[in-house]
A and B are shown apart, each in its own frame.
Chain A
Amino acid sequence: MSSGGSHARTLAVLLALLAATASAHHSPVAFDTGVTDFTISGEIEHVDVRNPHSVMDLRVTNDDGSATVWHIEFSSVNLLLRRGWDFERLKVGEEVTCTGNPSASGKPEMYMWSIVLPDGTEFGR
């Protein structure tokens, strides 16, 4: 591999990591809280239940067959526990449906309030 290709790959990895790090927690102003029924379905690529907010990456297949990885933010591990969410059931590779607030800026991001698992189980508020 040429050094240029190596650099490009390193840059791509760095940018991906920066994107992941920067999106660990968003202020409420990042989302359109006036819309509460925004829904997308896709495959869980990554999930991390944490404070102050949990994060999930969801691979969504678009109408034209291409795929977009959506960054999904949801509540804190403490509040989710009290709402009865079973974290062991949020599995990478599963097809789920997420509902909540869309991004205020049109990015492939959302704030999730509820999730429906493949067997129909729903965790919500």
Chain B
Amino acid sequence: MPFRRRMATLLAVVGSALVPAFTMAAEDAAIAGIWLPDANRSQRFPAAPPFTAEGRQIVAAWRASHDPIEDDPGKFCQAPGMPSLALGGAGYPVEIIVTPQQVTILMELHQQARRIFLDPPAPPARPFPQRNGYSIGHWEDATLVVDTIAIKAITFGTVPHSDRVRVVEHIRAIDDGAALLNEVTINDPVMYTEPIVVEQYYRRAPPDTRMLEYECTEGMWIDHETSRGVAADTPTPASP
């Protein structure tokens, strides 16, 4: 085959491989951007979830050993991890960044980052347990399907869970891009007798919205410095 024809064939093959990829990325970007949790529209994790006997015992033991005021994890800037992170969120924005290899979800509350890997077909055999777990994802049309495992067991937060919890999310833009829906399915055979599905909605943030940092332990440092008679180098921030 002459060189020029070989090059043309090569370019055609490469081109046909690239075009669908770019088209896909443009569609998928519907979920990209900054979103605000929509508490009015969202479902909540049930107040009385279908606990297993073991789950009920784990939660009862936690409550018995923690004063709700003095031993509140929030006081110590503890982020609850997944699956609590996928629910609620008060008024704090969430930024979704889409690339061909990874979707990154940055959450202002507690300065959390979730990384959803798109290239591996399966998680590693022994993923290192983390609070936000190990997430892989794939696209079903414009819906991002996320499968998260290797989540550390945590009893506080919206969703008390064991380290066997598995979370499947279906994330897609709705209402012509004005809103985002995440259908969150929580499977935890240790804690709950059946899967729990919660619909979490977001609305697109105004165009001038910028994510802020969320420095949470600064107050503890100030208290520490104050306790030893040193003025902490953290003046009250000026408003814009």
Residues of chain A touching chain B, judged by Cβ–Cβ distance below 8 Å, are 17, 20-22, 24-27, 29-30, 47-52, 55, 76-79, 81-82, 85-88, 90
Contact = CB atoms under 8 A, between A and B. Distances in A.
B72 interface: yes
Nearest to A47: B236
A21 B236 contact: no
B227 A21 contact: yes
A48 B108 contact: no
Contacts of A78: 92, 108, 212, 214
Interface stretch (B113-121, B174-182, B217-225): B217-225
A51 B215 contact: yes
A48 B92 contact: no
Contacts of B69: 26-27, 29-30
Interface in B198-240: 212, 214-216, 218-220, 222-223, 226-227, 236-240
B59 to A, nearest CB: 16
A51 B75 CA distance: 10
Nearest to A79: B91
Given A21-B227, A26-B72, A79-B92, A52 B220 contact: no
B239 A79 contact: no
Contacts of B75: 24-27, 52
Given A20-B226, A48-B236, A50-B219, A25 B74 contact: yes
Contacts, number: 71
A86 to B, nearest CB: 4
Contacts of B215: 51
Given A21-B223, A25-B74, A48-B219, A88 B238 contact: yes
Interface of B: 68-70, 72, 74-75, 77, 90-92, 108, 212, 214-216, 218-220, 222-223, 226-227, 236-240
> Chain B binding site: helix, strand, loop or mixed by DSSP?
loop
23 contacts: A17-B223, A17-B226, A20-B226, A22-B70, A24-B219, A24-B223, A25-B219, A26-B72, A26-B75, A27-B69, A27-B75, A48-B222, A51-B214, A52-B75, A52-B216, A76-B214, A77-B237, A78-B212, A79-B91, A81-B240, A82-B91, A87-B236, A88-B236
B10 to A, nearest CB: 52
B212 A81 contact: yes
Given A24-B219, A27-B68, A81-B212, 16 more contacts: A21-B227, A22-B70, A24-B75, A24-B223, A48-B219, A48-B222, A51-B216, A51-B218, A52-B77, A79-B90, A79-B91, A81-B240, A87-B236, A87-B238, A87-B239, A88-B236
Contact of A51 (B72, B219, B239, B240): B219
Given A17-B226, A78-B92, A81-B212, A49 B236 contact: yes
B11 to A, nearest CB: 50
A27 B72 contact: yes
